[in-house]
Chain A
Amino acid sequence: MSAYDIERLSRLIGMLPPAPVAWVGAAQELPQARRELDGIVARAEADAEFRRALIADLEGALRAEGVEPTWPLLDELRRRVRD
């Protein structure tokens, strides 16, 4: 019997199913999302009204810019807007 019998190989293939497509997409868009984030922060620095609205609804602001509001992005935006 081979060390890598067919049954074992089948089980090992099955151990790595694909991650949800939306998760992968959000991670792949990270470079673009970071650029959008820079734009949002720059706008918030220049426009007090926008900054107030942004602090009130970070998720909404990201969505409005077409960015998926993942936890790390929200965290970074919160930190940068507070600074």
Chain B
Amino acid sequence: MEAARDDGAAAARGPAALSAELTDARLVAQCRSGDEQAWHTLVERFSRYVYAISVQAFRLPAHDAEDVFQEVFARVYERLETLRDDEAVRPWIGQLTRRLCIDRLRAGSRETVEDTDELTEIAADDVLSQLEEAFDVHDALAELSENCREILDRFFAQDESYRTIGDALELPAGTIASRISRCLEKLRDVFEGRNQASGASSEQVT
């Protein structure tokens, strides 16, 4: 009942809010029950993560990255039933993506398997940990207003100019810089609040 109330409140704020407020575990449960809208949301939620792992951490060329991307989601779709902990869908998808990237590199490499593994793991390790952090920051973005979310994402993740953002959001281009600055400050507050809360709860547990 409580979950239904949560969904109702989120739905009133639009599909983006609904998507953001669905926990990973609930999303997985809905996908497993055959809800295709939930599947759309799951792909949307993890698409940037899968894409970034293959392109930034493993530097796969576009055609290989596309194959890995499709293969990851095909396997997730087929094997969702086998996931033991629904809340662990993100590490599961991350691990699946890393494994498929390494398989791609192995298939195209003239080096020995051991060399390829070692090199790719070392090269990717640092970027992978930053991507985890980046995912958490994007997660925190969902707590900002839609306007802030859009502005920050368009400017930093989509490399759009002030003018393009202004045109798209019907805002004077001259105000975009100050809005970006204000939205970043709000994001920092949200993100630090989250980290303090999770730090406090870990202390309580230990």
Q: Which residues of A line the B interface, CB within 8 A?
A: 2-6, 9-20, 23-24, 26-28, 30-32, 34, 70-73, 76
Contact = CB atoms under 8 A, between A and B. Distances in A.
Contacts of A31: 34, 36, 39, 77
Nearest to B69: A23
A16 B138 contact: yes
Contacts of A17: 48, 51-52, 157-159
Nearest to B31: A31
Given A9-B187, A17-B52, A71-B71, 5 more contacts: A3-B195, A12-B134, A16-B131, A17-B51, A23-B69
Interface string B108-149: 000000000000000000000011011101100100000000
Interface of B: 34, 36, 39-40, 43-44, 47-52, 56, 66-67, 69-71, 73-75, 77, 130-131, 133-135, 137-138, 141, 152-153, 156-159, 181, 184-185, 187-188, 191-192, 195
B191 A27 contact: no
A17 to B, nearest CB: 5
A6 B188 contact: yes
B191 A9 contact: yes
B48 A4 contact: no
B93 to A, nearest CB: 12
A24 B44 contact: yes
A5 B43 CA distance: 30
Contacts of A9: 137, 184, 187-188, 191
B184 A24 contact: no
Nearest to B40: A28
A15 B137 CA distance: 10
Given A13-B134, A71-B67, A72-B74, A27 B47 contact: yes
A31 B77 CA distance: 8
Contacts of B73: 27, 30
Contacts of B47: 18-19, 23-24, 27
Given A15-B130, A19-B51, A71-B70, A6 B184 contact: yes
